[in-house]
Amino acid sequence: MFEAACLLHIYVETPLHAGTGRGLGAVDLPIQRERVTGYPIVQASSVKGRLRADCAVRSGDASKIKAAFGPEPGEGASEHAGAFSPGDARILLFPVRSLAGVFAWTTSVDVLARLRREAQMMGVGLSWSLPSPPANDAALVAEGNEVTAGDKVVLEEFSFSPDTSQSQTAGEIGDWLATHALPGRLDEQGRRVSDEYDYWVEKLPKRLAILHEDAFRDFTQFATEVVTRVRLKPDTKTVVGGALWTEEHLPTDTLLYAPLAATAPRLPKGSTLPDDMKTAQDVLTFVSRTLDLRRTQLGGGETVGRGTVYLRFGEVQSLKEERNDA
C-alpha cells in the first residue's frame, strides 16, 4: 500500500508532443489519449522517466535515485522495485482561442470531478465545491470575466451563453488553480516567491470557462496544435521522399496534473538506506524538493524546442495517517 502522496501540476510552456507512434487518422503522429474519453494524457512511464533523469542530474546522489526509482535495467533491476509511483498526467485546463481575452482556459465539471476524486485519494483538501454542469450551449464564468464578448463567449467558431449563476463557485475554482496549480510558491507572508507568473495568476480566474463535458471533449480532440514537418535534402533543399509528416501537440498554456504516490524504499538485504530516505514521505520529499518549481522537457521534439514544461509539486501528505484516522 502507498503510504504518502502528493499532486504534481505540469504547465506547458511550449507545445508538447507525447506521442503514440504512427496514427491511422489524418495526423501521422497523434498524441497520447485515454481510450474511453479521448482526453489527452502523458503516460505515467514518460512522467516517471523524466523525473528520474532530472533527479539524477540535479541531485547527483545515486543511492537516493536507486532507492526512489529502483535500479536501472541491467544493474540489478530484478532485485527490487522503486518506491516512487506516478500516475498518468491528465488534462485539467485546455486553452482555446477566444474572441475576447485572446484565449480562455477551458475545463468541465467531469474533469474537475476527476481532480477532486484523485485529490481525495492523495489526501489533498480542496477549498471549492463542484458546480452543477452547464447546459450544452453555456459556459460557466465568473463575474468580471474577460472572455465574454457582448452577450456571448465565443471559442474558436462556437458561441456559448455566459452563465454567471454559479459565478462565485467558478471564481473560487479559478482562484484555487491560480494559487495552487500555476508555477510560483507563496512565502510565509503570502507573497509569491517568483513574479514571472504573476500575470497568468491574475488572468486565470478571469479567463476560466467551465463547459459541458461534450464541448470540452470536442475542443481537446479537434483544437490541438498540428504542425507539418519535413526533412530536406542537403544539396537540393527539396523534401526527402517519405519525409513529410504531421505531428499533434498539446498547445502552450495547457495545464496537466499527475498524482504521485510512494511506499517505503525497498533494498536488498545487507544494503543501507540514507538517513533521509527511509520512509515514503522521504521519497516524495526528495523528488519534490529536487524538482519543484523547475522546468524540464517532456515528450518528443526536444531539439526543436518542444515540450518545455514547468513543474509545481503540492505538499506531501501521509496516507498512512489518513487511514489510521478513518
Mean residue pLDDT of the chain comes to 91
Residue 322 reports pLDDT greater than 50: no
pLDDT of residue 192: 54
Instruction: Give the mean model confidence (pLDDT) for residues 186-209.
Output: 80
pLDDT of residue 185: 61
Instruction: Give the mean model confidence (pLDDT) for residues 180-184.
Output: 88
CB atoms within 10 A of CB 170: 25
Out of 183-187, 196-200, 266-270, which region has the weakest mean confidence (pLDDT)?
183-187
Confidence of residue 190 (pLDDT cuts 50, 70, 90): low
Q: Is the pTM of this model over 0.75?
A: yes
Query: What is the tens place of the pLDDT at every residue in 223-243?
Result: 999 999 888 888 998 888 878
Q: Which residue would you say has higher pLDDT here, 231 or 51? A: 51
Residue 104 reports pLDDT greater than 50: yes
pLDDT of residue 323: 45
Can you tell me whether residue 15 is helix, strand or coil?
Answer: coil
197: exposed, middle or buried (Cβ count in 10 Å: 0-12, 13-18, 19+): middle
Residue 326 reports pLDDT greater than 60: no
pLDDT of residue 207: 98
How far apart are alpha carbons 234 and 142 in whole angstroms?
54
Q: How many residues does the chain have?
A: 326
CB atoms within 10 A of CB 98: 21
Query: What is the tens place of the pLDDT at every residue in 16-34?
Result: 999 988 776 789 899 999 9
pLDDT of residue 325: 41
Residue 191 reports pLDDT greater than 70: no
The region that residue 241 occupies, defined by phi over 0 for left and psi between -120 and 50 for alpha, beta otherwise, is beta
Domains and CATH numbers, the chain: 1-18+44-87+250-326 (2.40.30), 93-223 (no CATH)
Out of 84-93, 196-205, 251-260, which region has the weakest mean confidence (pLDDT)?
196-205
What is the b/e burial string over 206-222, where b = at least 16 CB atoms within 10 angstroms of the residue's CB? bbbbbbbbebbbebbee
Give the CA count within 13 Å in the CB-facing half-sphere of 287: 36
pLDDT of residue 321: 56
225: exposed, middle or buried (Cβ count in 10 Å: 0-12, 13-18, 19+): middle
CB 264 within 8 A of CB 3: yes
Strand 158-163 with 138-140, pairing: parallel
Confidence of residue 212 (pLDDT cuts 50, 70, 90): very high
Q: Which helix (H) or strand (E) holds 138?
A: strand 138-140
Out of 66-75, 86-95, 133-142, 301-310, which region has the weakest mean confidence (pLDDT)?
66-75
Query: What is the tens place of the pLDDT at every residue in 258-280?
Result: 999 999 998 776 678 888 899 99
pLDDT of residue 194: 67
